[in-house]
Amino acid sequence: MLRTKSFQKPLIVVLGLTLATFLTAKPSTASVFTYQGDTTNQPIWRRTAPGDPPILITGERDGTLGMSVRYSVFEFIVDQSGLYTFTSAVPGATSPTNGDWDNFLVLYQDSFSPTRQLTNALVASTAPNDGTVALSRELDAQRQYFLVTTGRRVADFGAFTNTISGSGQIVPVPELNSIPAMLVVVGVGSILFG
């Protein structure tokens, strides 16, 4: 009987530790964030050339002024460091090589300026012919990132759907023009509920 008790005690401890591990372990939660936009009637800039990181602005290699193309900027942070994937699809794209226009993505870290195209640019990529562009990059938690969706050529602009997926939550940063509206709502709320 002593033998049985001494065997049961370690078994109970192992069983208890196993149950505690399974009951307290949290599964990894991948996150997906999708948004839509349109570069039609948006500002223009001389975009970067493709690269990881890009080292040229379009037209620099051949000595021309390059192309001024329309662009849209999405500012965000992530709450967990890790690998994130970015895809951009245009209407009509059923594969990486067809769609209404040829889109191009540039990812920036910390800041974005349309007149300082290479500053803080991490990676730039285009679709092979009017389709879906994709790129991946390791991101740091709580740093600002800017995903610029633009056209490959002057005539490339229109609606797009971008998807960001990765190991943590993707959190949009409010645009400057929405901050006054948020301050008004907060101010009115403070007065009413004071």
The answer, as to whether pTM is greater than 0.75, is no
CA distance 158 to 90: 8
Q: Among 70, 58, 129, 67, which residue's Cα sits nearest to residue 100?
A: 129
All domains of the chain in start order, with CATH: 33-175 (2.60.120.380)
- Mean pLDDT calculated for residue range 165-188: 63
Q: Is the pLDDT of residue 57 over 90?
A: no
pLDDT digits 0-9 by tens, 77-86 = 999 999 999 9
pLDDT digits 0-9 by tens, 12-46 = 444 444 444 434 434 446 799 999 999 999 999 99
- Mean pLDDT calculated for residue range 70-90: 94
